[in-house]
Structure 1
């Protein structure tokens, strides 16, 4: 993967869209909760679910575990798949407390922490990397559907490249850079929602001149 092309994509997207200020959250734990709730839903739905959780009390692992599972599910209903996500939240909160809480997580190297996160039921690679990058500020690039679509159209990576290979390719090309990974991923998501959609708006795309797929989709 070309470092020069990746950095050019970043510069063009940044100049066009401006700062993303992502991920929204008052605390690292709120970011972690958001990473679980955002699975298969729009962020606006997650915001409603988090607001409902805050109405029940402090947004803390022990407080969420103290809620009856039915009430927890009802409060996160706006995020969709609320019964499944309630179980996932409870599993994650218990794991987090057993691990010693957020401060204890920060003491572990990423090479040890990432596999540990992936043992939690309902935490897959993308959710784990959201938590690592945005909540714990680790230099881990997040791969999602927007990344795959954009990189495939730009010819940066095949659409079917395995998650770990694509993540490692970006990290190797750009080097360990938390602010860059944070902003690049947020810009890709924003661009994927507004321009590089399944039915793309190529005429509005700042990357059009660099995109072999432009107007040919």
Structure 2
């Protein structure tokens, strides 16, 4: 997989370059700011870009704005955003579109090498990968008047796993229930939220997170 990294911390950037190279990925560019990320994407057209949210010169949202521009100009390029914090507004902006080839991980997740690489592969394959903590924070935005309040505890667990990007089989394995039980919970969730059922899990993530961000 052809990857571009955007991270202003030289130590972290070089560490990720080495990790991805060892895993067989081709890191075609490693840059330290948002403008350089957009320019490198235009030049190399990678499969996935991995970018921090906060980069020079203001260390506010340069990386996020670059990621959004990349999604607009090159929708075939996957975008995996890394952040030190749960940026709720940024997460909502990031998933606007078809919900494919997109991910949002907290930087702590990068330490879990297997989870980071799995997220990268998932985004590169056209799917979605959202950090569990991001999903929990988005769910926490709901109020008593929200239809999410009608979900059972188990349905909320299934919803969280769906929003993380897991397949039905993956959810069944993690919650120790049958695949048919997961399907029933998912149907109930979509009925209660008024969301159309979609066969692709990444599209389900988009529908759910769009609703949560409304």
- Is the TM-score greater than 0.5? no
Answer 1 or 2: higher relative contact order, Cα 8 Å, separation at least 6.
1
Normalized per residue, the structure richer in helix is 1
Of structures 1 and 2, the larger Rg is shown by 1
Scaled by the length of structure 1, the TM-score of the pair is 0.29
TM-score by length of 2: 0.29
Structure with a larger share of its residues in strand: 2
